[in-house]
Structure 1
Amino acid sequence: MLDCLIIIKPLFVKELKKLNLVVDEPWLEAYEPKIEKRFQNYQSAIRAINDFSGSILEFARMHEFYGVHFDKLRKGWVYREWAPAAKALFLMGDFNRWNRNSHPLRSSSRGNWEIFLPYEDYKNTFIHQSKIKVRVIGANDTDLDRIPAYIRRVVQDKETHDFAGQLWFEPQPYTWSDQNFSLEEAAKMPLIYEAHVGMALEEAKVGTYKEFETLILPRIKAGGYNAIQLMAVMEHPYYGSFGYHVSNFFAPSSRFGTPEELKSLINTAHRMGIAVVMDIVHSHAVKNVNEGLNEFDGSDHQYFHPGPKGYHEGWDSKLFDYGKWEVQQFLLSNIRYWMEEFHFDGFRFDGATSIIYNHHGLVSFDSAEKYFDDGVDEDALLYLQLANTLIHALNPKALSIAEEVSGMPGLCRKVEDGGIGFDFRLAMGIPDYWIKTLKHKLDEQWDLFELWHELTNRPKLEKSIAYAESHDQALVGDKSIAFWLMDKEMYFSMTVLEQNLVVDRGIALHKMIRMITLSLGGEGYLNFIGNEFGHPEWVDFPRLGNDWSYQYARRQWSLVDDPLLRYQQLDLWDKAMIQLAKDYQLLASAPGVQLHLDPDKKILAYERGGLIFVFSFHPTESYFGFPIRVPEAGSYQILLNSDEKIYGGFERLDKTITYHTDQDQQVLLYVPNRVVMVMGRKM
């Protein structure tokens, strides 16, 4: 907890001739008034927050006011709820044998309700792990038993499957031992391992925080990744939603274990030097009335927009009204809670495109006008600016990542520059490009000009996180890259004891796709759990359609652990690739500079971080004495190449050879087909 009061002082537009975003991006000059208006809105909001609470940090403390808390001065428990349209609230639970009438809450100002339970009267009944709910007589005369909005833990009854809030009064606070952890490396060059705790085990069951800590964290550490992006942390009633239909925003999912076990996972990750980023869902909420926030006070507009605007048809979920102070406080307090209580190192904001636009991005962004017209939810943009201000006030090095596909200008620029304040944007077009290429083009049809454009076309002053595939590409109904490349042959022909042309091609391209994505596509890199070794199957959570099976809601680690299977070759390549990026601070370097592109021979070469990358995507032809002009004269040597035997290659390249530049500053290379080689200048 921060002991000092931090006030975010508004910066006045009058002090600036032009916002830096417009200075750096002259094509935005036509929209300068709208960009300045957004900045003015932010300044006004910060001014109002400072006047009301003293600072945005104090503004984001509602989780310390609402919910259940022990009041040391009054010597008892107080429970508060915000339900402005409700007619009556009653607290019930194990402590009063679920009497729905005996404990009414008192209505106070601002739509708040409150009840006090003296310690001496309830010390034997209002106890750790006992269950509670709140009965709400709503504005629409509904009479429903709800889960408190700020509850810290929610559990499901194994027999009735009913969800209830659970009191969590651990006698001793968790003891952290991560004081020496530094976010420096991950903040500068995030190498992210995206993972889901429940499906991380090979066993056909729901994995736990403790099992992830003991069994999976060592694998991530060995892989060289410096950050984990944890999915499905916030409680969600339907496991098959992948964690994206959140019901209880302050409750870590109990299906994976206790809050202390989640803290232990994060603490251990930190002690390993690994940052932990949370996949936070502030883009929407589950529509369930029994478990979630929907119609909590009997109205349709407490937390969400009223009517159709408050419903996302594509996601079948509810949409927050970001213009309400109480909603801002709820969501901002949620951010502070996860960072302070659980030591999360930042967030990947799910569905940022849906947040930003009233049409949720379901249009073609064929004109710059669409970044500034009525399709933009200006209240939502302001919320994201406030969220990023809060995150970096709590921890200046914290990671804030946007899942955003529209290309909103300034998304990853500082708020004072006229931006939205994120640190990184996920380069969502890259995995889409790879899947479309693999689905619709033969190898000889690959367009290297198109490939170069897709991997390099990003704002110069905004950082991107590149990824070849994520959980979206692994879901049932689609295929992972490995599955697109090798399909059924993965079940029968992955042994090192036999050769298979389909598998040979698949392994070669899998390595090349991942290397060019990492080295060229952004300032950070992301991999979804298991994809590093070419996991052979999709992700499909237990549901009625698959007879509630866990067969595809797991990761088959035995495949990569078997030295007789070629999955290990892909895993070793991934480790070498990540280590190369770390050794040369590759993604912290300036973007790649093209050295050579031959569309017919399908050879692409570029320089980044002082390294020379040479790719041959040709399916059949190899070339002797192929000239590549390099930035500096001298002697060069191959540091890493995908044709090494340990990576499933054919040993056609000799790493001991030194390549000297000629009078034209060229190196003459042997370039086999379907190979990437990485070269460094000998000093």
Structure 2
Amino acid sequence: METAASVTPTAAPLLPLVQHDPWLQPYAPDLERRLARFQHRLQEITAECGSLTRFATRHNFLGLHYDARRRGYWFREWAPGAQAVFLTGDFNQWDRAYTPLTRRDDGVWEVFLAEKTFPNLVHGSRYKLHVHAANGQRDRLPAAVRRVVQDEHSKDYSAQVWRPAEAFQWTDQTFRVANYVKEPLIYEAHVGMALEDGRVGGWREFADLILPRIQQEGYNVLQLMAVAEHPYYGSFGYHVANFFAPSARFGPPEDLKYLVNEAHRRGLAVVMDVVHSHSVKNEAEGLGNLDGSGALYFHAGGRGQHPGWDSLLFDYGRPEVQQFLLSNLRYWLEEFHFDGFRFDGVTSMLYHHHGEGVGFGSYDQYFGPEVDDDAVLYLQLATTLVRDIKKSALLIAEDMSGMPGLARPVAEGGLGFGFRLAMGLPDYWIRQLKHQRDEDWSLGGLWHELTNRRAGEKTVAYCESHDQALVGDKTLSHWLLDARIYTSMQRSASPDLETGRGVALHKLIRLVTLGAGGEAYMNFIGNEFGHPEWVDFPREGNQWSHHYARRQWSLADNPDLYYHAWLLFDQAMLGLERRTHFLNAGPARLLHLDDENKVLCFERGGLVFAFNFHPERSIADYRFFAGAAGAYTPVLNSDSAAFGGFDRIDPGTQHFTLPDEHGTPFLSLYLPSRTAQVLQPTK
């Protein structure tokens, strides 16, 4: 296949990406070469298969499929390096030599299993591959297997025939992302740890018990983690073994469909956290060394090993790998009605160094020899395919490098994502809480962190995600309150100073991040009410306990606790965004910054946000530039008693701007310490 250097673009006007960012001008040839390579590959695919969507149908060819006309099952596996391949299972008494496959010229092994010959091959039957190769004889799982189950006693994994008598009946035919999601308010969740009791939760339980909460709180996008099958539960779903199999530990595939269907009924889009950045090393369960060649889906040798994740790295330049991964995206979109993807580990994909220990401070780093051009090409193909299948799909990239064009259309020279995660924001908040007293915070530094993002590329703002909730780190609530998160959360008219500080700052941090940090917002399950404990999955080190792999909803539901106040505030700030759509109104505009008094004011979508971060200084008649003349009405107040505050601000007061000697409109507000208020222009 051609390399990036072998494709020379013809002279053309500057790409829109370069026109938008003059600093990219020296790298215009690199961007044009990337685009030319993508266009060339797309032409190859179209010539071979007719279209990119037809190319992405490998899942309908590989694996086990019932042929109603011939009354039996076809099974196929791509394993060009194998010497012999057999199918074994309970249908043939696990005889490893009884059912051989035949090798085709393209390296695919196949067999037809007629019902009359194999009457025991039915729904629920278990089976495996038995592969003879240079590395010996091994039992393996098929690459495109759609259902994998673990034996209760031996703990071994097997493929399972899944052909229920009645297909799931979808009722979401009229659901369209664009009709419900104007600005993504994303709820990141893990189904298994979503229940309060200490056990693994299921797809259907999540749909019935947790979706109503998410809807009521005001989120409009559910981002599901750990969907694809992974042998180690504690990996959070990031060491995937079986890319086409929904995790059986959460229930059958129909229950996942029920969850998505129910989310759509409630007006929630559902995004899958997809992991195409690497794969688990486990050969018994995963793809590694499937045909004994030492490579196949992955790079051979050191390039195929991720040094930090102890996992295998895909060979994105190999056509069969492109087809496998693209088919995987199509499968989740069409079979389970997902509305898009959050791509995990994009930085690792984009660079040969995987971003480990690298600080990105120069444009040279986005176009130098460390960039994996094959990964760039794959991501361009992936985002194009997803939009071809579902035009309004949500596509989010987890990248900490700041790759220019990541969230711009491919035709402009970009990679085609709709959003990029603001990964620097949670790191910033943890640094501040860990190393500085809040009275020493630089509001100029805060404003820079909130607004320093690439113009024209939409960003998902968040102050904490699952990364900050894992054991070994702390959530915002834990950093703010430490041991008081367990002992001092009973609501009081006069809480101790540390509890009062934590309760107040938790609200301010979340509101300022939502207000100025991006064009979308994300929260991790339970963090909206300051869940008191980290996430630690059952493992040998904790005696296989589920105590820390759950969510304590009863705390949020108790009106006598500050957890409930935090939940109400989260609901109120999301409700304000959904009413006013300020995230879609362009970037926030700084109105006033006063580091001495710790006051920060900005405007977005006509709303005026006023923050006083000072630990003790409440200021009466504080004047600042309003942005526009007129009357303003308070619409959100963090000091409300309902939100765990002290009711120092009169919510019914209407404020009128006053002109200075130059006619500039100013607002005068009472700014109590550690509070935030939002005002809306009065028509």
TM tier relative to shorter chain: over 0.9
Distance in 2 (alpha carbons) for counterparts of 1:666 and 1:198: 51
Distance in 1 (alpha carbons) for counterparts of 2:153 and 2:607: 60
* Match for residue 127 of structure 2 among 116, 132, 151: 132
What pairs with 1:50-69 in structure 2 (closer than 5 Å)? 50-69=46-65
Asked if residue 486 in structure 1 is aligned to residue 489 in structure 2, the reply is no
Alignment correspondent of 2:651: 655
Distance in 2 (alpha carbons) for counterparts of 1:663 and 1:92: 83
Asked if residue 682 in structure 1 is aligned to residue 682 in structure 2, the reply is yes
* Match for residue 17 of structure 1 among 6, 9, 13: 13
Q: CA deviation at 1:555?
A: 0.3
- Which amino acid in 1 is paired with 2:681? R
Alignment correspondent of 2:183: 189
* Match for residue 574 of structure 1 among 567, 570, 585: 570
Distance in 1 (alpha carbons) for counterparts of 2:133 and 2:372: 29
Distance in 2 (alpha carbons) for counterparts of 1:638 and 1:565: 26
Bigger shift: residues 83-92 or 500-509: 500-509
Distance in 2 (alpha carbons) for counterparts of 1:504 and 1:436: 21
Asked if residue 474 in structure 1 is aligned to residue 469 in structure 2, the reply is yes
- Contact 2:188/2:523 (8 A) holds in 1: yes
Alignment correspondent of 1:293: 287
What pairs with 1:614-629 in structure 2 (closer than 5 Å)? 614-629=610-625
Alignment correspondent of 1:638: 634
- Which amino acid in 1 is paired with 2:385? L
What pairs with 1:277-288 in structure 2 (closer than 5 Å)? 277-288=271-282
What pairs with 1:361-510 in structure 2 (closer than 5 Å)? 361-362=355-356, 363-497=358-492, 499-510=495-506
Bigger shift: residues 112-121 or 92-101: 112-121
Distance in 2 (alpha carbons) for counterparts of 1:186 and 1:417: 27
Asked if residue 317 in structure 1 is aligned to residue 311 in structure 2, the reply is yes
What pairs with 1:522-533 in structure 2 (closer than 5 Å)? 522-533=518-529
- Structure 1 residues 157, 352: CA separation in 2 closer, same or farther (over 3 Å shift)? same
Q: CA deviation at 1:530?
A: 0.1
- Contact 2:63/2:77 (8 A) holds in 1: yes
- Which amino acid in 2 is paired with 1:465? V
Q: CA deviation at 1:634?
A: 1.2
- Which amino acid in 1 is paired with 2:421? L
What pairs with 1:55-454 in structure 2 (closer than 5 Å)? 55-122=51-118, 124-140=119-135, 142-185=136-179, 187-362=181-356, 363-454=358-449
Secondary structure (helix, strand or coil) at the match of 1:249 reads strand
Secondary structure (helix, strand or coil) at the match of 1:188 reads coil
Bigger shift: residues 191-200 or 654-663: 654-663
Q: CA deviation at 1:500?
A: 2.4
Q: Deviations over 1:451-487 (max 9, x none)?
A: 0011101111100000010000000000000000001
- Structure 1 residues 187, 219: CA separation in 2 closer, same or farther (over 3 Å shift)? closer
Alignment correspondent of 1:613: 609
Secondary structure (helix, strand or coil) at the match of 1:570 reads helix
Secondary structure (helix, strand or coil) at the match of 2:586 reads coil
Distance in 2 (alpha carbons) for counterparts of 1:479 and 1:186: 33
Distance in 1 (alpha carbons) for counterparts of 2:654 and 2:182: 33
Asked if residue 589 in structure 1 is aligned to residue 588 in structure 2, the reply is no
Q: Deviations over 1:7-31 (max 9, x none)?
A: xxxxx96584111001111100000
- Contact 1:412/1:420 (8 A) holds in 2: yes
Secondary structure (helix, strand or coil) at the match of 2:379 reads helix
- For the aligned residues, what is the CA RMSD? 1.2
Distance in 1 (alpha carbons) for counterparts of 2:9 and 2:669: 56
Q: For this pair of structures, how many residues does the alignment match?
A: 671
- Which amino acid in 1 is paired with 2:371? V
Secondary structure (helix, strand or coil) at the match of 2:121 reads coil
Distance in 2 (alpha carbons) for counterparts of 1:438 and 1:213: 35
Secondary structure (helix, strand or coil) at the match of 2:74 reads strand
Alignment correspondent of 1:8: none
- Which amino acid in 1 is paired with 2:441? W
Q: CA deviation at 1:112?
A: 0.4
Q: Deviations over 1:247-266 (max 9, x none)?
A: 00000000000000000000
- Which amino acid in 2 is paired with 1:43? Q
- Which amino acid in 1 is paired with 2:508? M
- Contact 2:277/2:345 (8 A) holds in 1: yes
- Which amino acid in 2 is paired with 1:513? I
Alignment correspondent of 2:668: 668
Asked if residue 564 in structure 1 is aligned to residue 560 in structure 2, the reply is yes
- Which amino acid in 2 is paired with 1:677? Q
Bigger shift: residues 635-644 or 177-186: 177-186
- Contact 2:181/2:221 (8 A) holds in 1: no
Secondary structure (helix, strand or coil) at the match of 1:657 reads coil
- Contact 2:180/2:267 (8 A) holds in 1: no
When normalised by structure 2's length, the TM-score is: 0.97
When normalised by structure 1's length, the TM-score is: 0.97
Secondary structure (helix, strand or coil) at the match of 2:33 reads helix
- Which amino acid in 2 is paired with 1:595? L
- Which amino acid in 2 is paired with 1:81? E
- Contact 2:655/2:667 (8 A) holds in 1: yes
Bigger shift: residues 658-667 or 522-531: 658-667
Bigger shift: residues 486-495 or 404-413: 486-495
- Contact 1:182/1:273 (8 A) holds in 2: no
Distance in 2 (alpha carbons) for counterparts of 1:413 and 1:430: 21
Q: CA deviation at 1:186?
A: 5.4
Q: Deviations over 1:245-284 (max 9, x none)?
A: 0000000000000000000000000000000000000000
Secondary structure (helix, strand or coil) at the match of 1:633 reads coil
Distance in 2 (alpha carbons) for counterparts of 1:189 and 1:204: 35
Distance in 1 (alpha carbons) for counterparts of 2:197 and 2:480: 26
- Contact 1:187/1:398 (8 A) holds in 2: no
Identity of aligned residues (%): 55
- Which amino acid in 1 is paired with 2:667? V
Q: Deviations over 1:492-512 (max 9, x none)?
A: 111124622211111100000
* Match for residue 38 of structure 1 among 26, 30, 34: 34
Alignment correspondent of 1:7: none
Distance in 2 (alpha carbons) for counterparts of 1:610 and 1:420: 32
Distance in 2 (alpha carbons) for counterparts of 1:398 and 1:121: 44
Secondary structure (helix, strand or coil) at the match of 1:383 reads helix
Distance in 2 (alpha carbons) for counterparts of 1:50 and 1:182: 28
Distance in 1 (alpha carbons) for counterparts of 2:104 and 2:601: 68
Q: CA deviation at 1:185?
A: 4.9
Q: Deviations over 1:185-209 (max 9, x none)?
A: 5553100000000000001000001
Deviating 4+ runs (over 4 angstroms): 12-16
- Which amino acid in 2 is paired with 1:646? A
Q: CA deviation at 1:111?
A: 0.7
- Contact 1:187/1:399 (8 A) holds in 2: no
Q: Deviations over 1:21-57 (max 9, x none)?
A: 0111110000011010000000111000001110000
